[in-house]
Structure 1
Amino acid sequence: MKRSKWIWCAHNALREYNQTVLFKKEFEVTRTDGALLQITADSWYRVSVNGKWIHDGPARAYPDHYQYDEHDISAALKKGKNKIEVIARYFGIGTFHQIPQVAGLRAALLVDGQMIGTDSSWQAAPSHAWQQWTPKISIQMEPFEEYDARLEKVLDWQPAVEVKRPGKLVQRNTGLLTQKPRRPVGEPTATRVKKSAPHWCVPVAQLAHGEMIEANFYTSRPVVLGSVLTVRKKQQFDFSSMEWKVSVSGRLLKTGKVTLKPGKHEIRFFCNSFYGHNKELAFPWLNLKGWGEWSVELASACLFLDNDRRWFASFEHAEAKKAERRWQKAIEQYPKGFSTLDRSIEQVFMEDPAAQFTARTEVGMARRAVRSAAGGALGDSAVPVTVTPSPKGDAELCFDFGEQTCGYFEFTIKADEGVIVDLNAVEYITPDGTIQHTLPFNRNGMRYITKKGVNRFTSLKRRSGQYLFVTIRNAKAPVEIKSVRIIESTAPVSPVEMFKSSDPSLNKIWSMSERTLQLCMEDTFTDCPLYEQTLWIGDARNEALYAFAAYGNYDVSARSLELGAQSLDQFPMVGCQVPSSWDCQLPAWSFLWGMQVWEHYFHTGDKRFLKKLWSAVLKNLDGAEQYKDKYGLFSGPLWNLLEWAPIDHDNETVLHNSMLLVGALQAAENCADVLGENATQKKLKTRRNRLIRAINAQWNEEKGSYPDALLDTTGKASVKTCQHTSMLSIMCDVATPRIQKSALNNLLNSPKGMTTIGSPFAMQFMYEALEKAGEYDALLDSIRTKFQPMIDVGASTVWEMFAGSDFDTLGFPTRSHCHAWASSPIWFLTRIVLGIRQTDAGGKAFEISPWISGLKHASGAMATPKGPVHVDWRIKGKKLQITIAAPTGAKVEFIRNASMKGLCVIPAE
């Protein structure tokens, strides 16, 4: 890559929002073997060689540690002339995955003794087919994908321009994602939906702040939209909105409803939502007839932009409040202090196809309008199908992929020019047919506008769901859908062995958990494949354990840890989601990162990588040291969350933070021991013991619990108690033997009024505490109880929330139906039912002690760096027959336990 250059398109500004640029280069070779392509881009690329799709990338990375991918393209080359083509996108706005810097592509092709690097000899052209002015998919993701095939040949090829961009590149250190075609199962359902006008939204934060590379809550939007509405006859208008204040002829409306006489009326819309993560606000009035030209104005004196490190949910931000008060005063004093913005109408009003899908109205079935290719009823064939237009409404086909998946939409459609094809994926449809739409959290779809003839397309964005809705709009002649599929794209992992037992529910729970974990693994662990696809550091700690056990995968854990360490360049403690344009600190996640460092070493035995992270481990703990209250507890105006249960966490001193800090200190002591850092180990132990004493001083004997927090207002203990402090006190070895007895009782029999565990994420720690206390039956009973509702509704993956959670799921069982923080059964069924527990670093030694718990048989394996450790046991009468297979050189010790009482243990025949 050293002799290649960063390049971009001469027609495009380097920091403009949502650009898509095409690149190409022709070259000749006499030999094709051993051809390597190294490539990266800010923010995204897709590369093809001789028309064959090679891959997408790059992996997520901080700007100062940017990565390139390496592809073996020998099989795609031919002797003689060849062509490499790249689609590159620059998002031009912050996400939870990227911090865009400047548009650019960089590549080097090493083949036939030559290096063909990106430079001004490459050709570049802006793509007009990929629409530029679209809303963001979500606060976490890039702009929405919309493609107009009518414009794909409108290309002005010019020599690429070389771009200066500082910083070195390093090679990607995780596996490339898979490309597995998945087809729908069965026949699609065909529905007729009411034809509807376009839906619009306004990117208020972008209008206010221009080239905005951030994703913070504290981003003001002092924006006003204005136009003249010509009214033909007297009528009432409803401009009611939570997001907009409206004035008519200079008078602010109180309710939003107004009756206007015939004539011209000056209307102003003031952004009422001054802050928020939602960067685009719905604007439902653009379709009204009679609007004149639109103007955009900005109150510059009210502009405010800051990070979210001081947590907004609980703590006032004085400067932000001042800016908001200035804005409210400016609205009342309009037009004083406002300046006009020069923006094209398409930059102000962005069409929102996802909102149009969400607002769909069914008008009946469309079976007569949708026929198989043979002309028969739809049930004769899933695809291809022909859709006949009808004045009754638009045709909508729902394809079921049988289970949750994540990947690229791919389709072939034959149609006239100008047909609108909307594709939207969802995870769940209720038994009565109610769709769980993904808005307002995520625009989980795309729009395609056809050219005349055959249209073949593979989307640029990985999306997730089980059901894919294909809506045909604006058709005037039959449309043939020749094929629909999803190219599944995940980390290249597969389980070393499936868990099996005499309990079908446990088997199903394990397989659901494993499927979920696979869908939540990319170049890093991610929380969920639909709503965010974000590396949350706390989630990654838990998911790493599951991946160790199920797959023996360590590179995704290592990359997640590495990105956490690099976040310390901008934060005092490890960031909570990285790399990201959202600046916030969640201490519990910082401490879980420290625990994962030790666990990664323990499972891999990789001392070299541990040394690489060691300085970051100490820096993370030093950062925590600055946040101490007078009692010696961790305390700070940060996002002091552990989970969504109603813990009293809106205070600076929250007890669970201090307990997890104890866990991080203990992990660091273990690391210091391995690295021979004896003096550091001693200092860490002193800090840990001091913190333990401070925590246990808060134990309330009368309540038999720790308080949730110390209140900011009084400094006194919160009256609220929760299971979380009890479980973490056991898990992190905080509780004294006397306290531990009461803490364990809180887990097994929570007192009335105590906040209980709300999410599968926190349940991981509950199960760790129960395992440590030897309460294996309670642990397994909980798994059966908590996960059974997912089985009952036919889920293929495990959920973000347990059924009945306090989290507002809008009437559905959960928000995300695929969330790997819920995959804890992988870990605990392996450790408890199979009884496989590693006892030495790097998979050198294991204890095997299966817990029978009423089962008749069980089998499975735990992956290790040296190979899987397999256990197969079954009860035959009074005999426990067991087979154990371990890698050569690994020490294995079988240990009897209380569940085997009365059984004779013998090797299996």
Structure 2
Amino acid sequence: MKASKWIWCVQKSLREYNQTVLFQKEFEVTKTDGARLQITADSWYRVSVNGTWIHDGPARAYPDYFQYDEHDLSAVLKPGKNTIEVIARYFGIGTFHQIPQAAGLRAAILVDGEVIGTDASWQAAPSNAWQQWTPKISIQMEPFEEYDARLEKILDWQPAVEVKRPGKLFRRNTQLLTKKPRRPKGEPIIARVKKGEPHWCVPVTQLAHGELVEANFYTSRPVVLGSTLTVRKKQPFDFGSNEWKISVNGHLLKTGKVTLKPGKHDVRFFCTSFYGHNKELTFPWRNLKGWGDWTVSIAATCLFLNNDRRWFASFEDKEAQKAERRWQKAIEQYPKGFSALDRPEEQIFMEDPAAEFAARQKVGTARRAVRSQAGGAFIENALPAGVAEYCYDFGEQTCGYFEFTVKAEEGVIIDLNAVEYITPEGTIQHTLPFNRNGMRYITKKGVNRFRSLKRRAGQYLFVTIRNAKSPVEIKSVRIIESTAPVTPVQPFKSSDPALNKIWQMSERALKLCMEDTFTDCPLYEQTLWIGDARNEALYAFAAYGNYDVSARSLELGAQSLDQFTIVGCQVPSSWDCQLPAWSFLWGMQVWEHYFHAGDKRFLKKLWPAVLKNLDGAEQYKDKQGLFSGPLWNLLEWAPIDHDNETLLHNSMLLAGALKAAESCAEVLGEAKAAKKLKTRRNKLIRAINAQWDEERRSYPDALLDATGKPSTKTCQHTSMLSIMCDVADKRIQKPALNNLLNPPKDMTTIGSPFAMQFMYEALEKVGEYDALLDSIRTKFQPMIDVGASTVWEMFAGSDFDTHGFPTRSHCHAWASSPIWFLTRIVLGIRQTAAGGTAFEVSPRLCGLTQASGSMATPKGPVHVDWKIFGKTLRVNIGAPKGVKVDVEHNTSLRGLEVVVENHRSTVSVN
């Protein structure tokens, strides 16, 4: 992209919050063969050529390693005049996906030996239609999407401004996401909902800190809003809120309730939610009529910023606590010490359509006011006491872009909100307060066609029509599904329908959690959590033979070491926190990626980061030789004693990372490093096993910060990790296994599917295959019982507060472990050499009479199909040419004659 410049528009600041800018360029070509487009933007782009949508991007990246996408334009260009159009968004605020630097677009069209790069010859105009002052979708994501089609043609086109921006650009190294249209299943359910008042929120963090890009909890908001309320008759008011303290005419209210006489009253709202991940706070008074001009003031002495590397309430920063105490004093002394900010009202109060949807009140059916015609629907004028709401069911969880065509008069408000789950009784599981999973569209007169800029997830899409004074025709509604372009080599099938369904649910969830990296879930976060990625990579190896998503996830983890001592836990991100367990899982994934992909060159590229991660961990060793640090020492949400610096599970996973690094060193011929790592690992194992409590037959959860003594709490997690990571010696392994199979009543048990992956790895290691399969059947059956299409973040009955619903996230690929274990145990396919050159096949019957499926490899799938006929087990094995397969007997096959047939590779039967 040397012949291009970074550009933006002259009318906008490079750092202003939530900008959407349009760009266009006309150009002429004579030949179109081989035409390519290279393009990137901070923070997001959508590009079209000659009216055809090409793609969105870019991939997530650290600022120093920013990436560009490359698109083939051969099919969309024509000889003669062509037009390229780009919608670019600069978020101007931190997310868990980006660290925005400054607004900018950069592109180059390579065609017919010519380079047409972005420069001042391109035209640029701020978009008036995409509304700027909207709240963030969530702490993890960008600002909420709101589009006013009435303003889309009000454009001030001017030559683009060239922008200087340091740093190299790197070509995207993962495949582009899919664009697959999905239509709803059947007709929508139509309801009438009560017309509600607007909901407002205040961007308190942004008001306090301006253009700061961050996502940390410890970012203070010493903000006060003030106005004059004109009261016409004596009446009571209730300004009560957990997030605001109210003063009226200089007197602080205890409860927020007050009766006011006719006249003018000075009212102040002091933000008492002083810290938090939520960057906007709900405003406790919905009706803004009757108020005078609003003012904003801040107390500069109470401004405070810190990272969240040590995260949890019990780890609160002392300086942060001092700042909060200063704020409480400042409230009492107002207006002393406060300075006024000049902000227009649109930047103080942001409308919150998601909150309006969450507060909806259904008042009946709207079918009498709606008539269907030619696949569409007309909403008639008269909808007594409310507005019409359509609920479209897509039949299963999906993730993609909202797309619709609507014919309406000007000014109709269309709210679209997606949800994952509705109870059998009809209760909607709303996504607030964690995510504003929707958008708002305001119509122009006539036909409105729209495709959202944001990918959103859910199974049900609610389309609410507000402010309609004449018929509105919904011509079409669909979702353009967008995931990594993966397809399973073969679905798992067996004589147990439940296991088949569990595999299908797991695979569907995994696909929806694959973008340019692995993500935790497609709705709430869409975040690359490094620990999740380690597990999801195993599933993607087995199901798809996909290695580029794993490689990119590992690469971003390595790049995080420019910022952190050990690999970051979610990257790239504006949230500055560290979770050691994830850092060590990254180290284990490095080896596993090499073993499955066979890419020695990539392993060599990551090797310096592997050593840097482990050397960083050495800095946290305590006097006993255990890993100990003021970090987020979580493993999962189960109530482990993790509010301490020395957690035994961290040291065990570090031992696993050291062993993985030893294997890497051997492959790379780093004998000296391998010896050093082995010595370090053995020393760490001795320190861990010194904490084994013979009387309680368990490791303690932690060593307590206050005393240094072992915690009185125990958990399954240390026992399973001691087996999985080869920490438990012979005296420990048997009682540790008993803790997994028969945990004592006072022992904390596994709480999430994420941690269950490690439990299953431990059980597989010691040969407890039936226990493993029984657990899969038991733990995942409740998901089947409620008709889930994907696997969940939590198991049914979890200690995690799901507010009465089965789980929070209904699509969470960290729960897709059945893909891995059904392949390895029931089909018995286990890779024994790097790069998929050799395998062992040893099916475990586990009460089944037949099973079939494949494991993907870089050389092609290894297929197994087995079936019991009387006393004979017939095993059909297929493998790529040159792949060695050994068939191994096991105890589950006793009494059966094993016949191996129809193989297409070198197979030996032992």
The TM-score, its normalising length taken from structure 1, stands at: 0.99
CA contact (8 A) 1:422 1:446 kept: yes
Q: Which residue of 2 aligns with 1:895?
A: 888
Task: State the match for 2:110 in structure 1.
Answer: 110
Q: Is 2:574 the counterpart of 1:589?
A: no
Q: Deviations over 1:359-410 (max 9, x none)?
A: 0001101111121115xxxxxx5x4554544232010000000000000000
Do the aligned residues in 2 keep the contact of 1:314 with 1:651 (CA within 8 Å)? no
Alignment match, 1:227: 227
Q: Deviations over 1:654-674 (max 9, x none)?
A: 100000000000000000011
2:483 maps to: 490
1:316 positional shift: 3.1
In structure 2, give the amino acid aligned to 1:159.
P
Please tell me whether the aligned partners of residues 193 and 363 of structure 2 are also in contact (alpha carbons under 8 angstroms).
yes
Match status 1:4 vs 2:4: yes
Specify whether residues 73 and 716 from structure 1 end up closer, same or farther in structure 2 by C-alpha distance, changes over 3 A only: same
CA contact (8 A) 2:108 2:115 kept: yes
User: Matched residues in 2 for 1:575 and 1:615: separation?
Assistant: 16
Partner in structure 2 of residue 537 of structure 1 = 530
The alignment partner of 1:69 has SS state of strand
1:138 corresponding residue in structure 2: 138
- In the alignment, which residue of structure 1 is the partner of 2:855? 862
**Offset, 1:551:** 0.1
1:82-97 matches, within 5 Å, as: 82-97=82-97
Residues in 2 aligned to 1:265 and 1:392: alpha-carbon distance in whole angstroms:
34
Residue 171 of structure 1 deviates from its aligned partner by 0.3
Aligned residue for 2:673? 680
- Cα distance in structure 2, aligned partners of 1:315 and 1:297: 30
Gaps of 5+ in 2: 903-910
In 2, are the aligned partners of 1:373 and 1:386 still within 8 Å (CA)?
Answer: no
Cα drift, residue 284 of structure 1: 3.0
Offset at residue 312 of structure 1 (A): 4.1
- 2:204 aligned with 1:211: no
Contact 2:240 2:284 in 1 (8 A): no
Residue 782 (structure 1) aligns with: 775
Alignment of 1:309-324 (within 5 A): 309-324=309-324
CA deviation profile, 1:420-468 (whole Å, cap 9, x unmatched): 0000000000000000000000000000000000000000000000000
Q: Which residue of 1 aligns with 2:443?
A: 450
Aligned to 1:392: 385
Secondary structure of the structure 1 residue equivalent to 2:167: coil
Out of 718, 724, 743, the residue aligned to residue 750 of structure 1 is 743
Counterpart position of 1:405: 398
Q: In the alignment, is residue 467 of structure 1 matched against residue 460 of structure 2?
A: yes
Query: Is contact 2:312-2:643 (8 Å) kept?
Result: no
Shift of residue 313 of structure 1? 2.7
Matched residues in 2 for 1:634 and 1:206: separation?
37
Distance 2:452 2:304 in 1: 36
After TM superposition, give the deviation of residue 288 of structure 1 in Å: 4.9
Shift of 1:11: 0.5
> What value does the CA root-mean-square deviation take over the aligned residues?
0.8
Question: Conserved in 2, the CA contact under 8 Å of 1:372 and 1:386?
Answer: no
Percent identical among aligned pairs is 83
CA–CA separation in structure 1 for the residues paired with 2:318 and 2:774: 49
Which residue of structure 2 aligns with residue 436 of structure 1?
429
Task: Judge conservation of contact 2:396–2:789 (CA < 8 Å) in 1.
Answer: yes
Pair 1:759 & 2:752 matched? yes
Q: SS of the counterpart of 2:504? A: helix
> Which residue of structure 1 lines up, in the alignment, with residue 199 of structure 2?
199
CA deviation map 1:522-560 (0-9, x unaligned) = 000000000000000000000000000000000000000
The equivalent of 1:174 in structure 2 is: 174
For 2:257, the equivalent position in structure 1 comes to 257
Post-superposition offset of 1:321: 1.1
**Distance across 1 between alignment mates of 2:234 and 2:818:** 65
- Report deviation, 1:264: 1.2
User: Over residues 674-705 of structure 1, what are the superposed CA-to-partner deviations in whole Å (9 max), with x where a residue is unaligned?
Assistant: 11111111111111001100000000111110
What code does the residue aligned with 2:670 have? E
Tell me the distance in 2 between the aligned counterparts of 1:291 and 1:887.
75
Q: Secondary structure at the match of 1:314?
A: helix
Paired amino acid for 1:499: F
> After superposition, what is the alpha-carbon deviation per residue over 1:161-195, rounded to whole angstroms, capped at 9, x for unaligned?
00000000010000000000000011100000000
Partner of 2:905: none
| Runs of 4+ with deviation above 6 angstroms | none
Amino acid at match of 2:147: Y
Aligned to 2:546: 553
Cα drift, residue 262 of structure 1: 1.5
Maintained 8 Å contact 1:396/1:470: yes
Q: Distance in 1 between matches of 2:853 and 2:627?
A: 41
CA contact (8 A) 2:107 2:118 kept: yes
Matches within 5 A, 1:832-847: 832-847=825-840
Query: CA separation in 1, counterparts of 2:247 and 2:140?
Result: 33
Residue in structure 2 matched with residue 378 of structure 1 by the alignment: none
Q: How does 1:870-889 map to 2 (within 5 A)?
A: 870-889=863-882
Q: Please give the per-residue CA displacement for 1:13-36, whole angstroms capped at 9, x wherever unaligned.
A: 000000000000001111111110
What is aligned with 2:72?
72
- Name the structure 1 match of 2:815: 822
Q: In 1, distance between residues paired with 2:866 and 2:107? A: 53
Q: Matched residue of 2:314: which SS?
A: coil
Please name the residue that 2:38 is paired with. Answer: 38
Q: Is the 8 A contact 1:397 1:471 kept in 2?
A: yes
Which residue does the alignment assign to 2:559?
A: 566
CA contact (8 A) 1:199 1:284 kept: no
Q: What is the Cα deviation at residue 309 of structure 1?
A: 1.3
8 Å Cα contact 1:387-1:480 kept in structure 2 = no
| Alpha-carbon distance between aligned partners in 2 of 1:286 and 1:247, rounded to the nearest angstrom | 18
Secondary structure, aligned partner of 1:290: coil
* Residue type at the aligned position of 2:37: L
* Among candidates 654, 661, 666, match of residue 668 of structure 1: 661
How far, CA to CA, are the matches of 1:828 and 1:518 in structure 2?
A: 18
Equivalent pair of 1:92/1:211 in contact (CA under 8 Å): yes
SS at match of 2:313: coil
How far apart, CA to CA, are the structure 2 residues paired with 1:907 and 1:652? 54
> How many angstroms does 1:315 deviate by?
1.7
2:269 aligns with 269
CA distance in 2: counterparts of 1:388 and 1:521, whole angstroms: 44
CA contact (8 A) 2:366 2:383 kept: no
Q: What SS is found at the alignment partner of 1:482?
A: strand
SS in 2 for 1:883: strand
Map 1:349-428 onto structure 2 (within 5 A): 349-374=349-374, 381=375, 383-428=376-421
Q: Higher mean Cα deviation, 294-303 or 249-258?
A: 249-258
CA distance in 2, matches of 1:411, 1:436: 24
Give the SS at the match of 1:190.
Answer: strand
> Separation in 1 of the partners of 2:381 and 2:556?
51
Native 8 Å contact 1:727 1:743 kept in 2: yes
Contact preservation (8 Å) 2:241, 2:284:
no
Alignment match, 1:377: none
Match of 1:287 in 2: 287
In the comparison of the two structures, how many residue pairs are matched? 902
Kindly state the Cα deviation for residue 310 of structure 1 after the two structures are TM-superposed: 2.6
Match of 1:621 in 2: 614
Give the whole-Å Cα distance in 2 for the aligned partners of 1:245 and 1:181.
48
Query: Structure 1 stretch 107-116 or stretch 516-525: which is displaced more?
Result: 107-116
How many angstroms apart in 2 are the aligned matches of 1:895 and 1:16?
Answer: 64
1:305-335 deviation line (CA, Å, top 9, x unaligned): 1111132433231211111111010001111
Q: d(CA) in 1 for partners of 2:461 and 2:551?
A: 34
Counterpart residue number, 2:906: none
586, 590, 603: which is aligned to 2:596? 603
Corresponding residue of 2:908: none
Q: CA deviation at 1:748?
A: 0.4
Q: Distance in 2 between matches of 1:20 and 1:699?
A: 58
Indicate whether 1:791 and 2:784 are aligned: yes
Aligned partner of residue 315 in structure 2, secondary structure: coil
What residue number does 2:690 align with? 697
Distance across 2 between alignment mates of 1:629 and 1:328: 38
Q: Which residue in 1 is equivalent to 2:326?
A: 326
Partner of residue 623, structure 2? 630
State the partner residue of 1:724. Answer: 717
8 Å Cα contact 2:121-2:159 kept in structure 1: yes
Runs of 5+ consecutive residues of structure 1 not aligned to the other structure: 375-380
3-state secondary structure, aligned to 1:642: coil
